[in-house]
Every structure is written in C-alpha cells, then in structure tokens.
Structure 1
Amino acid sequence: MAVDLRQVMAAFLTFSMFAMLGNMIKRDHIDPLWEPEPETTMVQYGMLKNSKPGMHKLSEANYGPWKEHDEIVKPCSKKPLFKGKEQSNGYIFFSLTHGPEYHASQVANAVAVARYLGATLVLPDVRGAKLGDKRNFKELYDVEKFTKTLTGVVRVEKTPPKEISKERLPIIKVPYMVSEEYVASNIKPIFKNETRNLKIVTYFNNNSSPYDKIINRESDYQCLAMYESLKPQKELQELIDSMVGTLRSMSKKTNGRFVSVDLRAEMFTETSCKLLGSSGGHNKRWCYNGERIGEFLKKIGFHEDTTVYLTQTGWDTSLNALRDVFPNTFTKDAIMPADEKAKFTDAESRKTIDFYVCAQGDVFVPAYPSRFYEAVVGERIGLGKTQIFIPAEKDSNSDSATDYVSPYVANRSHFAHSCFC
C-alpha cells in the first residue's frame, strides 16, 4: 500500500506537539517538586575538584555537638585617642617574629611604647625562622587596615626617614603586655638620652601567656592593636576565604560546619609534647596524635561525615588513623588551588593560612597546648566562635562535649574577654 507523505508529516507534527506539551507540564508542575543532588565532590590529597553548591535542602540531623549560632560580640570600648601627650620626633622600630600567634602581642607592645613616648611607629617587617629571612609587612598583612585602625592611637609611618633607616639603633627588650610604669622607668630614659630612635624586641617566657586576662587602664588600645589592626593582605585573605568556602561546601551533612584541629606530626616528640605553662586555668598536659584526636571527636558525638581541617603541612602517615575515622580530613595542601599553592610556599604564609582557617572553623580543637592555640582562641572570641574543646583521655567518664570546653572560655580567663562584650 502506498504511503502518503502528507499523512506521515501530519502524524510527526502531531506527536511533536504532544511531546512539547508534556515537557511544558513537567517543567511547570512536576520539576519544582524535585531538586537533583549536586555533583559528587571528589577530593584526593593534592587534588581537589569542587562541584557547585546544590540547591537541595540539607539534612536537619545534628551529626555532632554543634552550636546553632555564633555569639554576637562587639568591642567593649571606643577607640582611645591622644590626650595631649608629649610629642617627640623619635621613631620606634620593631619586627614581627615567630609566626602569627606572636604578632598581635608584638604589635600591642610596640603601640604601647610608641604611644607613651609620643613617638612614631614604623611599619614592621616580618622575620622568618631562618637567619636573614625577612619580608615586607605588605606581603603578609593589609597595610591600609593596619594604619587606619591605629589612626588617632599612635602615628604610623610606612617608611622611616632615609637618614635613620640604616643606622645602628639601640635595641631594648620589653616584656609582653608592657605597662606604662615599665616604659617610664626602663625605656623613656634611654629614648631621651639616645637618638630618640629605638628598636624594641618583645620577649616571652614559657611560664605565662600574653593571652591571659590582663585588665588595666591601657587595655583599650591593647585590644585594638591585638584584635583589629592585623588582617591578611587582600590576595591571601581571598585564598583563606576560598579554602573556608571549600571546607563548608564539603560539609553537606553538617549544614556547612567543619572542625579545625591544630595537629602537626612534628610536634610529637618527647620534648615537644611538654606542657607550655599552666596559664588560662589549664592544670593538665595533653598531647594527642591523629588516632587519639579521632577517638576524642567520635567520643563527644561528632559523626564520621564531619569535615576536619588539619594544620599539618603535607600528609603524614601518622594521620591515617584519624582519616580512617573521619574520611573527610584534609590539610591545606589538599584544598588549595594549584596556582595559589605555588604562590604561597613560604612558611609564614602557610602559618597565617592555618591561623585564620582555625579561627573560622565552627569548632576548634588543639592537639597540644601552645601559643598558637592561645592566639586562635583570642581571635575566635572576637568572632563569637567559642566552641573550643580540649581533648581528654578516651577512658574519661564523660562523653559530653560541654565537659571539655577550653578553660579560656569556660572560666573567661583569656585577655580577649576584656576586649569584647
């Protein structure tokens, strides 16, 4: 039987119209009720492929002892301004050393000395662990933020006059949280009798902490110097924000929340694991490796799907036991884009990245006592992120996370508590 082409075309057009109508109905009335899962995030050590965040509703399961919201805090005092202090033509020089956990205290000391003497503070350089390892302040921190924050508190110059930039300056050692009385009796006479240009070096001892609670009449500008003046330079801050965003995108079952842990394999030696003082209400020593950190987090209720960030550089086989319990455990090398990893290879940048990622984590756990831990706590108090847990032996009686809250928070024994209300 001959086939009429006109009938075939008519049938094809009719079928096409019904198909289009069906798609329209599906799109308008069925699709909104179903939202696809996002592409699976694939993470390997040294390699990361991120999918775009999905639009589906996250699970409401708690999956661990998470706080629902961060605390809302604000600075307790207004910016302290000059009040007719004696003016001088002198300059105070200093350097930032030993890593970001020390930098805030060094800035606070330099500001205290320069403010009391009426001197001008010269923008510091940043010194690394190796002799001769020196960097410009702007390579690590935001210069404009630093100078703007201290405007009206102390005069700051980015570069000193040429005639004094290379001269041999008297070097004065000062204790952390230096007082006006100390400056008046120990530094002012030298400042007046010398060239009115000094370099100060802050020294720390192992039996006390610059982050213990110290309240005095100068605490306003100490707070300003410690918790508002230092912020990473723009490119570094963007990288930190990107890494935090990546960690949150991988934390789907915990509503974007992650745990940051200060855990570095090189710390686990007989010498390194000794308690660094008993300040802040701490009356015990602790030193946990990856396996024991995993046991602790599991014990207090964190689900195996919890995303964990470690301050370890690279990967160490001693951390495998932690990843066995919490598979979503990563170091910065695993989540940094390759091009950014090539830019920030120096130790100071990597320490700074660790510091600010730990400050942003929804929970922070230090594997051992250190100034890094103390400094991160101060930063977190200013952000209202007070979920900070101190590990305990796996056979301890309690499995409640609230029983392991850092004494810095539980006893309000950290200096930052006098800065934020």
Structure 2
Amino acid sequence: MSEISTSGRAPPARTPTTSYPLSGPRSHSGPGQLSQPNSPFGSTWKAAMRMRRGWCRRRGTVGLVALVVVFFCVNWWMLSRIQDPIRFGKVKRIKFRFLKGNASTVSIKEELKTIGKGKMPQKTAYARLLSKAAHALAEGQKRAEPKDLWVDPYVRAASWISCSYKRDWKPSEGSNGYMMVTANGGINQQRVAICNAVAVARLLNATLVLPKFMYSTVWKDVSQFGDIYQEEHFIEFLRPDIRIVKELPKDLQSLDLDAVGSVVTDVDIVKEAKPSFYMKHILPILHKNRVVHFVGFGNRLASDPIPFELQRLRCRCNFHALRFIPKIQEAGALLIQRMRQNSTLPAPLDPYLVGPFAVSAMKGDRSNAEKGSKYLALHLRFEIDMVAHSLCEFGGGEEERRELQAYREIHFPALVEQQKTEKLPSPEQLKSEGLCPLMPEETALMLAALGFNRGTHIFLAGAQIYGGEARLSTLTTLFPNLVTKESLLSSTEMEPFKNFSSQLAALDFIGCGASDLFAMTDSGSQFSSLVSGYRIYYGSGKMPTIRPNKRRLADIFVKNDSMQWAVFEKRMRKAVRQNKRVFSRPVGRSVYRYPRCRACMCNRDDEDRRQRH
C-alpha cells in the first residue's frame, strides 16, 4: 500500500496540503469504511476528507464547464438550423425549388465567402450584420412575427372602394380623325402610355387605333398589344368613352405620315404636358391630316391639372380595361395557387388578375375550400440596366466599373456624354441621397430586421438579377423559401413565354398583385408603382405594401460596422413604418400609383356623411 507524503512546510491548520500519489487506493480501516480520528490511521482519514472536498470542488468546476459547453451546443444547434452540412469539404449549390422541397440552404458563413465568385468577383457586403441577422432568424423561428407586419397601418384604408367604372358623359364619336400610338419602353411604361393615350383621344375627340409597341434593344421583346392584353375586352369596355379601331382606314394607310407632318415624337412634346398643349398643337394636325402618330409617348400627359372625368377615364383604363390574355391568366393562376401551397380559396385580387382562372379548384364548392398560406412578394429591382444607369457602386471593384461603363456606352449614350461634360455626384453621394438601388444583401437585412420569419414564403419578381445566383445567395441563405416564376412553373409551362420579357413581366405582376404583402426596393420603379396602385384600388385596405425610403435606409446602413442588431432592428422598423402609410393621392402624383382620390375611388365615410346631411 502506497504511503501518504506531506510537504516540508507546516500547513495551515484548516487547509492541510497533504496530497495523494497518482495511483493507489485510499486508506481503509475495514472494507468500505474510513478510519476514525482516534485510530492510528487518523491522518489518513483527514487526508481522505481533504481529498473529498477537493473532489467536490473539482466536480463543481467540471459542472460549470459542462454548463458552458451545453450553452454553446444549444447555440450551435440554433445556428445549424440555418445551415446545411458541408459535405466532403464542398458547399452545396443553392437551388430554387418549391417551398417544402427547399427546406434548407448552405452554411451562411461559407456562403458569404462565395458571394460574387461567379461571373463578377466582389467583396462580401455587411458580413457582420448578416451574421447577426442569421443568428436572430435562428433564434426567432418559433417566435411570433410583429403583429403589424402583414397589415396596412392606415386603419381607414378599408373605407376607400373602387368606383372609376362610373361614367357621367356620352360616348365620343371620334370624329376629328385617327390617333395612333407606338409606345416605347417595357410593359409598364407601355401600360401607362396606353391609358394616357385613351385620355388624350377623348380630349381630342379622336378615334384611337389599337396601340402598338416599339421594339426595345433592352427588353428585346416583339410582343404587341394582343400578345399581352385582351383586345376585344379593351375595345368593348371603353366603347362608352372613346371609339377604338384595330387599324387605320384603307385610304390613310398609304399616307406618308412623316412627310405630311403627322408624326409626333417625345422630342416634340414636353414631359407631363397639360391638356392645353394637345388642344393647341395636336388638334390642328388632326384637322389638317385626319391622323396623328405619337411615337414613344412616355409620360407625356400631366397628372394635374386634369379634368375630373378625364382623370377617371385614365383609372378606368388601367384598372378595368386592360386584362391579360387567357394564356397569361392561366399561368398566373397556377403561380398563385402554388405560392399558396395549393389553396382552393381565391383571394380578393384574383378575379381581376386571372379572370375565370380564379375559380376554386373545388368547382364551386367553397364549403371545403382551404385558405392558403400567406406569402410576401418582393420586387428586387437589381437588373443590369438599373444598376448601370444609377452610376452607383456595388462592391465589385474595377471589374464591375468597367462592365457597367461598357453597358452604359451601348444602352445609355446620353448618360455617357453627360459623364464627359458634367461633374456628376460620386457613388458615395448618390448612396447617401438614397439614389442607389438596394442590393440583395441590404434587402435581406431589411426583411430580417422587420421581423419576417425565416420560413416566410417569398415570391421574387424581376428579370435577371445583376451578378446572378451568387449575388442572390445571401438572400436565399437567410430566407430559403424564396422562389421565382421559373421555379414555380415547369419548363413546359414556361415555354410559351420564353424570350418574351413583357409576358414574363405580366406573370410577375400577377404574382406580386395577388400577394398578402408586397415589398418594393425601388419606389421609383414603374412596375412597383403599378402593382402597389392595383393593390390599393382592389385591396379594400387589406393588401399592404412596404415601400422603404432609401435615403433613411442609407443612413442606417452606413453605420453597420458599429451598430448592434437590436438597434438596427429598431431603426429599420421605424424607417419602414413611417413610409408604409399612404393616405390619399398627393397633388401631381400618378393616379396609377396613388388611386385614392375622388376620380378613381370613393370614400364610404364621405358617402355616409352626405347621406346623414
């Protein structure tokens, strides 16, 4: 049996320093019993007691360490809920798949390293905040979202109802001649041009020839009016307002319109021209040549001052006369149904967006119809045309600058000339003024800060995002249930729309219009303006829209290196909440975007007050 060794110095009375060898059993007085104090082995008993106290202290230390380990394990488990295992040292490639099939995504830490390593190298933006956002999303998976997240903060919004279908005039004979319009831009600019043309035709008492669309080198779409909108519905719905024909009479078709001075371009018309301009300069052309041809016609009619009934006609055209063709409606109905996870119950806007395809899958039996899961539609305006035209920088360095400048030289030569002759604001100045489009990283941070759950179903609208899938990876990492029309519809279902950007944009319009909540990243976007206006007009105050003020957001993002997540959350929510309210149309603003005005909508509260008095 090993002997007990002691130190050479006299130990304190209560804290003996006797130690045990590394091996050997404890001293025993018998089987399983310690020696008594008055026994010859008293020192052994004291040493054993000291050892027991030491063991207790060590056990407490081990327990504390174990508790810390458990804490970190739980923390790691929560983070792992937003991570995929990295197998064989390689990161899984993100795939856009439908909601339930896309249950996980790649490790955010690894993914942030790969952002931009596709076509365009770039540094990871906001890596610190993104890491905090990932942690917040993991912790909040079972936490309830903010109560006001999916509702319109304007409580009186429900009192506004659509009523632009009402008329208080006789049909126009269109006897002053024929008015042709070839609208430029994409589908959204063309839509505005059509409705402005309808109003001008009524103003001039002209017969409108069914509008045509100019081919754009940017959009590269040969679609014409009948490829997107229902021609017969358009003509018949507006028959009580203006006369519409599909083509010029034979005797005018051979006329050289340019030679006789009947061609009017955007150069000839001031932007936001008043009705008096058309009466003074265009009506004489009609009287002389019996025909006038507007080429371009982009934003060539003012929002104010406009006669009441003429303003109402613009609303009637936009919200009632323009209906997508059945091919687009059918695909749009499929898109909506799949976003709602095969819900059989139509939502408020469905009949106006997809027409007869909005019926219940239960064939009229609504007793068993199920309400689908809600979804957020996001218009991420980050296509190369927007990015290049903004003159901003997005973290891609010199290669990005060269690529965007080359694009400008081809598509925006006037802007390039302006760069050479004028001193334009720096990218930093543009950013601080809120003139740069939100990057996907910034959009992801905004959604996370607003309190959206990681499992939120998101429909992403828009054309090809600049930077491709690599640029989107941050957004899809934080919100894996993000899908596009291409991932919702099969290749067979998408085939009829291939290479027709305007028709694809129409599907995006349907997906965004029908969503429970619509979020835009660029309040100046024509697409976002038309979608939000449509939701106001038909939504009865139940179709809210998030329209961030980019100037306020820029002030928040510039301090990202030092801001804590809780502070970032608070400031972001306040900034968005302040800009989420839309009461009635401001003077001079578009009725297509802000239809809450007496010309487009009626206020039930006003009607009730009139009836009481």
TM-score by length of 2: 0.52
Q: How is 1:106-121 mapped onto 2 (pairs within 5 angstroms)?
A: 106-121=193-208
Is residue 2:534 matched to residue 1:379? Answer: yes
Q: For residue 514 of structure 2, what is the aligned residue in structure 1?
A: 360
CA contact (8 A) 1:106 1:176 kept: no
- CA deviation after TM superposition for structure 1 residue 359, in Å: 1.9
Q: For residue 213 of structure 2, what is the aligned residue in structure 1?
A: 126
Is residue 2:547 matched to residue 1:389? Answer: yes
Partner amino acid for 2:239? T
Change (3 A) 1:407 1:175: farther
Change (3 A) 1:146 1:62: farther
Equivalenced residue count is 357
- CA deviation after TM superposition for structure 1 residue 273, in Å: 6.2
Aligned mates of 1:210, 1:289 — CA distance in 2: 33
CA contact (8 A) 2:584 2:596 kept: no
- CA deviation after TM superposition for structure 1 residue 404, in Å: 3.4
Aligned mates of 1:362, 1:210 — CA distance in 2: 32
Partner amino acid for 2:323? K
Aligned mates of 1:72, 1:339 — CA distance in 2: 43
Partner amino acid for 1:300? L
TM-score by length of 1: 0.73
Aligned mates of 1:294, 1:128 — CA distance in 2: 35
Q: How is 1:257-406 mapped onto 2 (pairs within 5 angstroms)?
A: 257-263=374-380, 264-266=382-384, 269=387, 271-272=389-390, 284-313=434-463, 316-345=469-498, 346-368=500-522, 369-384=524-539, 385-390=543-548, 392=553, 393=556, 397-400=570-573, 403-404=576-577, 406=579
Secondary structure of the residue aligned to 1:364 is: strand
Secondary structure of the residue aligned to 1:318 is: helix
Q: How is 1:29-178 mapped onto 2 (pairs within 5 angstroms)?
A: 45=95, 63=145, 65-67=149-151, 71=158, 73-80=160-167, 82-83=169-170, 87-88=174-175, 90-130=177-217, 134-169=222-257, 170-173=262-265, 174=269, 178=273
CA contact (8 A) 1:92 1:114 kept: yes
CA offsets 1:147-169 (integer angstroms, 9 cap, x no match): 12211100111233233335332
CA contact (8 A) 1:112 1:178 kept: no
Is residue 2:601 matched to residue 1:420? Answer: yes
> Gaps (5+ residues) in structure 2?
1-93, 102-141, 344-370, 393-432, 560-567, 603-613
CA offsets 1:365-414 (integer angstroms, 9 cap, x no match): 22223222222222221122232231634565435378436467256435
Secondary structure of the residue aligned to 2:316 is: helix
- CA deviation after TM superposition for structure 1 residue 117, in Å: 2.4
Aligned mates of 1:202, 1:320 — CA distance in 2: 38
Aligned mates of 1:306, 1:126 — CA distance in 2: 38
Is residue 2:340 matched to residue 1:256? Answer: no
- CA deviation after TM superposition for structure 1 residue 130, in Å: 3.0
CA contact (8 A) 1:286 1:367 kept: no
CA contact (8 A) 1:97 1:103 kept: yes
- CA deviation after TM superposition for structure 1 residue 101, in Å: 1.8
> Gaps (5+ residues) in structure 1?
1-43, 52-59, 275-282
Partner amino acid for 2:481? N
Flag the structure with higher strand content: 1
Secondary structure of the residue aligned to 1:115 is: helix
Change (3 A) 1:268 1:157: closer
CA contact (8 A) 1:240 1:356 kept: yes
Aligned mates of 2:333, 2:302 — CA distance in 1: 26
- CA deviation after TM superposition for structure 1 residue 248, in Å: 1.5
- CA deviation after TM superposition for structure 1 residue 320, in Å: 0.6
CA offsets 1:66-115 (integer angstroms, 9 cap, x no match): 12899475334454365486752621111343123213321222112221
The Cα RMSD (Å) is 3.6
Q: For residue 284 of structure 2, what is the aligned residue in structure 1?
A: 189
Change (3 A) 1:137 1:317: same
- State percent identity of aligned pairs: 23
Aligned mates of 2:284, 2:302 — CA distance in 1: 29
- CA deviation after TM superposition for structure 1 residue 188, in Å: 0.6
Partner amino acid for 2:459? Y
Partner amino acid for 1:116? L
Is residue 2:328 matched to residue 1:236? Answer: yes
- CA deviation after TM superposition for structure 1 residue 313, in Å: 3.7
Partner amino acid for 2:210? L
Secondary structure of the residue aligned to 1:316 is: helix
Aligned mates of 2:581, 2:322 — CA distance in 1: 22
Change (3 A) 1:348 1:342: same
Aligned mates of 1:200, 1:62 — CA distance in 2: 54
Is residue 2:302 matched to residue 1:223? Answer: no
1:409 aligned to which of 568, 582, 598: 582
Partner amino acid for 1:198? V
- CA deviation after TM superposition for structure 1 residue 210, in Å: 7.5
CA offsets 1:330-363 (integer angstroms, 9 cap, x no match): 1221112221211101111112222232222222
Q: For residue 27 of structure 1, what is the aligned residue in structure 2?
A: none
CA offsets 1:113-143 (integer angstroms, 9 cap, x no match): 2212222111122333139954332111111
CA contact (8 A) 2:336 2:514 kept: yes
CA contact (8 A) 2:545 2:580 kept: no
CA contact (8 A) 1:125 1:135 kept: no
- CA deviation after TM superposition for structure 1 residue 328, in Å: 0.6
